[in-house]
């Protein structure tokens, strides 16, 4: 297979002649007056409801200057604000400073709080506009109901940004490539057959898929349209005999089109997707996921088509990795762990020399990515590396920039959250290391986070337990100290796909619905934390795999197999806070890490591995 294109963020900034948020906001308000609009809502979204967006749909970032991956921008003639949760408050305060755009803080899990603000703020008779092409169907229904109750009109057929963003980026052009054996373990024809069987069970004839990771998984294809995620912009329509992939012209080369055709898959222009929906015949029964399609897409479905709303069957199927996929992930974790050994060995040397050779947070990212790039099967980072020293570590989604990053000097804690996209799996790991001397308070916080991570890692639970219900297990040791953290404990992870994958997530912000049930084969992160703004941040993260543990008269029970292989720095631990069972867990984990990684490293990396896996 030819090497896939690196999945990296665009190098060109999202700029136009309107060079500041104030200029852009003024132009937006002028366009609103021309269209008779009183308020504009700009979600962080695209026509596929992606978490990470291609440049064309980074409208909220372009307007406000806030670069976080989650947030909603609202402008009226006399107010502008960005609604975002606690993961981004510190970042948003910095990026919105001086723009005239307010930070509207929302609790974790209250992402639609702005709906209440609109309903409470706007008088009857006013009009709210939001581009229906990027507005989730479920959110559109919630927003429409709230505004209608207050006599406010919702318009979804106009994109005011078209009047303002004069050099808006076009559709991505990077080619689609095939995810091939041995890493693609299930042929796409087999996946399509399983999907069609699920469709028959639900009594539907046709299924629309708009989520990019579902499409990439179903067709064993990958791309580079979204930073760090090996997906491509497309829609798919699947019926009993035909599957159509709607993707921009030129992205699927003729040879690959021929292979797809052999499996009954037709490639059509991306812009034909809505027309294909409009042309569905009278007898069609269409399955779509109301949380994973947009309002604009739903409007394209004719009134004569019966619609069944349910979660995409592919979302459930891809979350459960096969035994062969799990084996590939384990091998990938060994390569990723070896890269981390090389990096941390370099880092300790660099820290020892920092008085002569200054070190900053950007250096961390550069050297860590280089270490991974030397490993077989590496494609790209799986997200933008977070390397935060002391106070920057308390910014949950911090991103160091060369012009503003911190030098690593003096004493404190360095938090490093990073991951890699490999042909054989996706990795995501967070470690915290000491720089110089640590304080008793820092060691206490570190140990509490470690206790939470170990508590959940060691948990046994009934199969089918709703993932959000597990969150409290990791928080309990942290809560006991009167501390909490403002993000979920864990997210699902894809197989050479999105680093954030559903349907399961270990978080109090997700309702414990049936689709969140924990099943064998799911890969999830465990990553509790403690963050003290202006001081330090601590997060310890491993990926785990759901495995069947036992079958008793009370049913089947699952356990977590820890996949991530990298030492946890014991220099940051307050040993007095650990119980004997916790010390035994940590020593067993380190013995496994040493045994699995030692064959892949040598020299300084091996010496570092041996030192950092000594029993506590």
The range of the structural domain enclosing residue 93 comes to 21-164
Q: Mean pLDDT, to the nearest integer, of 362-376? A: 96
Residue 227 confidence (pLDDT) above 90: no
**Could you give the CA distance from residue 88 to residue 104 in angstroms, rounded to a whole number?**
11
- Which pTM value belongs to this model? 0.91
One-character DSSP codes across 509-565: TS---GGGB--TT-EEEE--EEEETTTEEEE-BEEEEEEEEEEETTEEEEEEEE---
* Last-in-domain residue among 292, 318, 344: 318
CA angle, residues 530, 567, 581, in degrees to nearest 5: 75
Rounded to 5, what percent of the chain is helix, strand, coil? Answer: 40, 20, 40
Lowest mean pLDDT of 268-277, 349-358, 461-470, 535-544, name the range. Answer: 349-358
- Opening angle at CA 339, ends 229 and 419, nearest 5: 25
Give the pLDDT confidence score for residue 109 in this predicted structure: 57
Distance (Å) of CA 544 to CA 260, 524, 552: 34, 5, 23
| Residue 414 confidence (pLDDT) above 70 | yes
Q: How far is CA 5 from CA 8, 22, 221, 322, in A?
A: 9, 37, 13, 26
Asked if residue 540 is part of any domain, the answer here is yes
> Residues 253, 371: one domain?
no
How far apart are the C-alpha atoms of 175 and 38, rounded to whole Å? Answer: 41
Could you give the CA distance from residue 616 to residue 612 in angstroms, rounded to a whole number? 10
Does 108 score more than 80 pLDDT?
Answer: no
Mean pLDDT of the chain: 94
State which H helix or E strand residue 221 sits in.
Answer: strand 221-222
* Domain end call among 318, 343, 370: 318
Residue 170 lies in a domain: no
pLDDT 10s digits, 139-151: 999 999 999 999 9
The domain total for the chain is 3
Residue 1 covered by a domain: no
What is the arithmetic mean of pLDDT over 367-395? 96
Whether 15 is in a domain gets the answer no
Which residues does 437 contact at the CB level (< 8 Å), separation at least 6?
411
Kindly report the CATH number assigned to the domain that includes residue 237: 3.40.350.10
CATH number at residue 451: 3.90.230.10
- pLDDT tens digit sequence for 260-313: 999 999 999 999 999 999 999 999 999 999 999 999 999 999 999 999 999 999
CA 382 to chain centre: 9
User: Does residue 145 lie in a domain region?
Assistant: yes
Place 498 in a pLDDT band, splitting at 50, 70 and 90.
Answer: very high
Asked if residue 111 and residue 227 are part of one domain, the reply reads no
Between strands 265-268 and 425-426, the pairing is: unpaired
Dump the DSSP string for 466-482. BGGGGHHHHHHHHHTTT
**Co-location of 103 and 141 in the same domain:** yes
Whether residue 7 has pLDDT greater than 60: no
Q: Are residues 257 and 389 in the same domain?
A: no
Check pLDDT > 70 for residue 369: yes
- Gyration radius from the chain CA atoms: 25
Mapped onto helix, strand or coil, the DSSP state of residue 155 is strand
Cβ distance 565 to 334 under 8 Å?
yes
The side-by-side arrangement of strands in the sheet containing 501-506 is 460-462, 555-562, 542-552, 523-526, 490-492, 501-506
pLDDT of res. 402: 80
- Read off the pLDDT band of 6 (50, 70, 90): very low
Between CA 27 and CA 29 the distance in angstroms is: 5
3 state SS of 202? coil
Determine contact, residues 402/358, Cβ cutoff 8 Å: no
pLDDT of residue 5: 47
Specify whether the CB–CB gap between 346 and 367 falls below 8 A.
Answer: yes
The answer to whether residues 379 and 481 belong to one domain is yes
Tokens of 82: 């960005």
Q: State the helix-helix crossing angle for 137-149 and 113-121, rounded to 10 degrees.
A: 30
* 420-422 and 72-76 strand pairing: unpaired
Rounded Cα distance between 29 and 577, Å, is: 57
Please tell me the predicted confidence (pLDDT) of residue 436: 95
Q: Could you tell me if residue 271 is inside a domain?
A: yes
- Among 186-190, 354-358, 521-525, name the one with the lowest average pLDDT: 354-358
Q: What is the pLDDT of residue 361?
A: 92
Question: d(Cα 174, Cα 10) in Å, to the nearest integer?
Answer: 12
% the chain with pLDDT above 70:
96
Q: Same domain, yes or no, for 311 and 328?
A: no
Q: 580: Cβ–Cβ under 8 A, 6 or more apart, which residues?
A: none
Cis before residue 182, ω within 30 degrees of 0?
yes
Q: 208: which strand partners?
A: 237
Structure tokens at 34: 């021309």
Q: Is the pLDDT of residue 111 over 80?
A: no
Residue 579 burial (C-beta neighbours within 10 Å; 0-12, 13-18, 19+)? exposed
Query: Cα 199 to the chain's mean position, in Å?
Result: 28
Same domain flag for 249 and 328? no
The verdict on 394 and 535 lying in the same domain is yes
Q: Is the pLDDT of residue 197 over 70?
A: yes
Q: Quick check: is 172 in a domain?
A: no
Residues 493 and 522 in one domain: yes
User: Would 8 be classed as within a structural domain?
Assistant: no
What is the CB-side half-sphere exposure of residue 240 using CA atoms within 13 A? 8
> How large a percentage of the chain has pLDDT more than 90?
87
Q: Is the predicted pLDDT of residue 17 greater than 80, yes or no?
A: no
- CA-nearest of 226, 133, 172, 162 to 16 is 162
- For residue 525, which phi and psi values (nearest 5 degrees)? -85, 155
Helical (H) or strand (E) element with 286: strand 285-288
Look up tokens 């305060």; give the residue: 93
Location of structure tokens 């170990």: 454
In this structure, the chain runs to a length of: 616
Identify whether residues 309 and 287 lie together within a single domain. yes
Q: Which of 287, 318, 349 is a domain's end point?
A: 318
HEC per residue, 288-339: ECCCCCEHHHHHCCCCCCEEEECCCHHHHHHHCCCHHHHHHHHHHHHHHHHH
- Do both 72 and 138 map to the same domain? yes
Residue with tokens 């409009």: 278
For residues 509 and 530, membership in a common domain is answered with: yes
Question: CB–CB of 218/317 below 8 Å?
Answer: no
């Amino acid at each position: 297979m030819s090497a896939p294109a690196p999945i990296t963020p665009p190098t060109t900034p999202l700029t136009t002649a309107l060079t500041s948020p104030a200029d852009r906001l003024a132009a937006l308000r002028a366009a609103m007056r021309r269209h008779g609009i009183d308020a504009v809502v700009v979600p962080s979204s695209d026509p596929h409801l992606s978490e990470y967006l291609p440049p064309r749909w980074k409208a909220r970032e372009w307007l406000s200057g806030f670069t976080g991956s989650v947030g909603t921008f609202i402008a009226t003639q006399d107010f502008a604000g960005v609604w975002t949760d606690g993961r981004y408050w510190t970042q948003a305060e910095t990026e919105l400073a001086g723009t005239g755009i307010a930070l509207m803080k929302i609790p974790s899990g209250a992402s639609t709080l702005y709906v209440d603000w609109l309903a409470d703020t706007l008088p009857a008779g006013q009009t709210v506009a939001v581009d229906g092409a990027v507005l989730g169907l479920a959110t559109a229904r919630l927003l429409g109901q709230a505004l209608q109750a207050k006599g406010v009109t919702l318009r979804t057929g106009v994109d005011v940004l078209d009047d303002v963003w004069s050099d808006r980026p076009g559709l991505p052009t990077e080619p689609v490539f095939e995810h091939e054996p041995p890493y693609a373990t299930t042929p796409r024809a087999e996946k399509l057959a399983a999907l069609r069987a699920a469709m028959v069970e639900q009594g539907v004839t046709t299924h629309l898929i708009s989520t990019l990771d579902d499409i990439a998984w179903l067709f064993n294809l990958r791309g580079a349209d979204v930073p760090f995620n090996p997906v491509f912009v497309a829609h798919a329509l699947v019926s009993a005999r035909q599957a159509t992939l709607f993707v921009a012209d030129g992205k699927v080369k003729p040879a690959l089109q021929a292979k797809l055709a052999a499996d009954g898959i037709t490639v059509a222009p991306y812009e034909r997707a809505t027309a294909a929906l409009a042309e569905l015949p009278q007898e069609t029964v269409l399955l779509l996921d109301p949380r994973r399609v947009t309002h604009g897409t739903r409007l394209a479905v004719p009134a004569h088509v019966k619609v069944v709303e349910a979660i995409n069957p592919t979302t459930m199927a891809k979350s459960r990795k096969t035994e062969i996929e799990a084996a590939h992930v384990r091998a990938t974790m060994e390569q990723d762990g070896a890269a981390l050994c090389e990096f941390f060995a370099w880092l300790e040397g660099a820290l020892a020399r920092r008085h002569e050779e200054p070190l900053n947070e950007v250096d961390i990212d550069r050297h860590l990515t280089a270490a991974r790039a030397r490993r077989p099967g590496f494609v790209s980072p799986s997200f933008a590396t977070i390397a935060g020293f002391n106070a920057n570590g308390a910014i949950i989604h911090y991103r160091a920039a060369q012009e503003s990053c911190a030098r690593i000097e003096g004493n404190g804690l360095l938090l490093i959250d990073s991951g890699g996209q490999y042909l054989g799996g996706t990795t995501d790991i967070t470690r915290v290391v000491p720089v110089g001397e640590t304080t008793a308070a820092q060691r206490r916080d570190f140990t509490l986070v470690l206790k939470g991570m170990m508590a959940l890692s060691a948990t046994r639970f009934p199969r089918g337990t709703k993932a959000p219900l597990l969150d409290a297990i990791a928080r309990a040791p942290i809560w006991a100290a009167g501390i909490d953290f403002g993000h979920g404990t864990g997210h699902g992870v894809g197989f050479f796909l999105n680093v954030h994958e559903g349907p399961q997530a270990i978080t109090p912000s997700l309702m414990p619905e049936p689709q969140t049930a924990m099943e064998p084969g799911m890969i999830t992160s465990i990553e509790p934390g403690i963050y003290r703004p202006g001081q330090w941040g601590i997060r310890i993260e491993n990926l785990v795999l759901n495995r069947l543990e036992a079958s008793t008269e009370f049913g089947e029970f699952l356990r977590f197999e820890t996949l991530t292989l990298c030492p946890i720095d014991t220099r940051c631990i307050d040993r007095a806070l650990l119980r004997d069972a916790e010390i035994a867990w940590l020593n067993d984990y380190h013995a496994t890490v040493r045994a699995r990684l030692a064959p892949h490293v040598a020299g300084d990396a091996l010496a570092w591995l041996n030192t950092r896996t000594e029993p506590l």
